[in-house]
Chain A
Amino acid sequence: MEFLYFGNTGWGDELFFATLMTIAVAITAIFIGFFLAAIFTTFKLSKSKILNFVGNFYTTVFRGVPELLVIYLLFFGGSGAVMYVAKIFGYDGYIEVNAFLTGAISIGIISGAYSTEVFRGAIQSINEGQFEASKVLGLRKKIYYYKIIIPQMLRLALPNISNVWQITLKDTSLISVTGLVEIMRQSYVAAGSTRDPLFFYSFAAVLYLLLTFLSLKLFNKLEKNYSRGF
């Protein structure tokens, strides 16, 4: 147990902050995902064949390619792209892109592909009559989307958003390959310096279980809250 003491003698405080980091990355990633999903859902539902293709391409590629490969692409490609742009502006040195951003963006892109499918499914399962009624009422497109379709969509999508959140939370463990100090990376460091990998990786598993358990509880509460009156 002395492994978990706070302060200089144990890894308690390090693991605590690493857990916060995991939560921070996961939340940033899922919101990047929502943002991308909002764009690509409209692409997928649009009447334009080209936009449809772009939307389908995005969800097919990022749900079909391993997360780790996407992370490597952004990890190695990210700083290269930034340096390329910097070179145009006359800066020739090495630039390292923030590991937090690289991780959150790569997990966010993947999470966005799953969210897109969830949003699309939710919008398509809204009764056709709702769209027709809004049109008959003479509401402008923007208003009926924001006031009628999206609130209903969110309620329908909530159980699946919960699933996407679980996937995103677990995917953050892969960011440890970029050196960002989240639960997995911190456990790796601690396991290396104490030579007790079994303890630290098991403890990491417990931390992840705790996170998934708590978020499941939270989502159940939200679902109850949003399905009042149905």
Chain B
Amino acid sequence: MELMIESFPRLLNATLLTIKLTLLSLFFGIFVGFFFAILRTSKNKILYYFSYYYSYVFRGTPLLVQIFIIYFGLGQVEWIRESFLWILLKEPYSCAILAFTLNTGAYSSEIFRSAFETINKGVLEAATSLGLNKINIFFKVKLPMAIKQSLPAYGNEMILMLKGTSLASTVTLLDLTGVAKHIISTTFRPIEVFIVAGSIYLLMTFIIHNIIKLLEKRYDYK
């Protein structure tokens, strides 16, 4: 019990990094996801397959491998070390965000793609016959419908990403899991630390869950 109270401030402090990693990766991941979802609808075979294999590779390999390739692997390439990218790739923080972004981007692109695909053709025909132009159809018709459609699945993806950020601790970052591991390995009291850190994670999952519920209500146009 004492250890739980003692370690709580440190764990809470580390939670900030976890939140930062989650939010930044999700933010960038949405753009990556949309980009590849749009490529998937392209009629150009090269663009289509590029997007297809991107999502295939990132969803078919563990996130840990992706982080390790980016953090340990890319630094070995001469031209990367000499380019401006090295400023980003030498820091574990930006490497972790890059890996998480690419990973969540792959999953989100699948979610967005299927959301766009399920839009009823009749709705688009109705919008066209009402005289809306392409841009209006995209922003006023397609996008809101796709957002509503993808919200439940995207909520799951947000929770997966939150859990995924725990891998940042493998590249020396002290996020919630990293600090928890450090406390466990110095005190050898895993259960207490697990309860505190686990509760913080569960609280964050709970918050995400409720935000998605609220958004679902907002986008419910029926």
Q: Name A77's contact: one of B76, B159, B190 (CB within 8 Å).
A: B190
Contacts A67-B166, A80-B188, A191-B72 known; A204 to B65 CB distance under 8 Å?
yes
Within 8 A of B (CB), among A182-205: 184, 187-188, 191, 195-199, 201-202, 204-205
Q: Which of A42-50, A138-146, A154-162, A172-180 is the contact stretch?
A: A172-180
Known interface pairs A60-B202, A65-B198, A198-B73. Does A77 touch B191 (Cβ–Cβ under 8 Å)? yes
Q: Is the interface of A mostly helix, strand, loop or mixed?
A: helix
Q: Specify which chain B residues have a CB less than 8 angstroms from the CB of A208 in the assembled complex.
A: 60-62, 65
A66 touches B166 (CB 8 A): yes
Decide yes or no whether B151 CB sits under 8 A from chain A. Answer: no
Tell me which of A68, A177, A205 contacts B65 (CB under 8 A). A205
Verify if A72 is at the interface (C-beta below 8 Å from B).
Answer: yes
> A64 at interface (Cβ–Cβ under 8 A)?
yes
Question: What is the bound-complex CA distance between A197 and B169, given in angstroms?
Answer: 19
CA distance A197 to B63 in the complex (A): 16
Is B74 an interface residue, CB under 8 A from the partner? yes
Contact B163–A184 (Cβ < 8 Å): no
**Is A69's CB under 8 angstroms from B201's CB?**
yes
Is the CB of B214 closer than 8 A to any CB of chain A? Answer: no
Among A126-178, those with CB < 8 Å from B are: 170-171, 173-174, 176-177
Shortest Cβ gap from B78 to chain A (Å): 11
B72 CB contacts on chain A under 8 angstroms: 191, 197-198, 201
Residues on B with beta carbons closer than 8 Å to the beta carbon of A195:
76
CA distance A74 to B148 in the complex (A): 40
- Residues of A contacting B170 with CB < 8 Å? 68, 177
A212 within 8 A of B: yes
**Interface stretch (choices B36-44, B127-135, B139-147, B177-185):** B177-185
Cα distance A66–B167 in the bound complex, in angstroms: 9
Whether B61 and A170, one on each chain, are in contact in the complex, defined by CB atoms closer than 8 angstroms, is yes
B163: nearest chain-A partner, CB-CB: A66
The complex places the Cα of A211 from the Cα of B179 at a distance, in Å, of 33
Docked pose: A201 CA to B73 CA in angstroms: 7
Q: How many angstroms from the CA of A61 to the CA of B202 in the assembled complex?
A: 7
Please tell me if the beta carbons of A73 and B163 are within 8 angstroms of each other in the complex.
no
Contacts of B60 in A (CB 8 A): 208-209, 212-213
Knowing A68-B169, A72-B180, A72-B184 are in contact, say whether A202-B69 is a contact too (CB < 8 A): yes
**Separation in Å of the B2 CB from the closest CB of chain A?**
18
Once bound together, how far apart are the Cα atoms of A159 and B64, in whole Å? 25
Among A76, A77, A174, A205, point to the contact of B69 (Cβ < 8 A).
A205
Main secondary structure of the interface of B (DSSP, over half): helix
CB pair B197 A69 closer than 8 Å: yes
Residues of A within 8 A of B197 (CB): 65, 69
Chain A residues positioned under 8 Å from B88 (CB to CB): none
Contacts of B188 in A (CB 8 A): 76, 80
Distance of A73 Cα from B190 Cα, bound (Å): 5
CB pair A73 B194 closer than 8 Å: yes
Contact B180 A69 (CB under 8 A): yes
Query: How far apart are the CA atoms of A197 and B72 in the complex, in Å?
Result: 6
Of A60, A69, A191, A208, which is in contact with the most chain B CB atoms at under 10 Å from its CB?
A69
Q: Residue B77 at the A interface, CB < 8 A?
A: yes
Chain B residue nearest to A209 in the complex (CB) = B60
Known: A69-B177, A209-B61. 20 other contacts (CB 8 A): A65-B201, A66-B163, A66-B201, A69-B166, A69-B180, A69-B194, A69-B197, A72-B184, A73-B190, A77-B191, A77-B194, A170-B61, A173-B64, A174-B64, A177-B170, A184-B62, A197-B76, A198-B69, A198-B74, A205-B65
Q: List 15 A-B contacts (CB under 8 A).
A: A64-B202, A66-B201, A67-B166, A68-B181, A69-B180, A69-B201, A72-B180, A76-B188, A170-B62, A173-B64, A201-B69, A201-B72, A205-B57, A209-B61, A213-B60
Across the A-B interface, give the 3 residue pairs with the lowest CB-CB distance, nearest first: A66-B166, A198-B73, A173-B62
A interface, CB within 8 angstroms of B: 60-61, 64-69, 72-73, 76-77, 80, 170-171, 173-174, 176-177, 184, 187-188, 191, 195-199, 201-202, 204-205, 208-209, 212-213
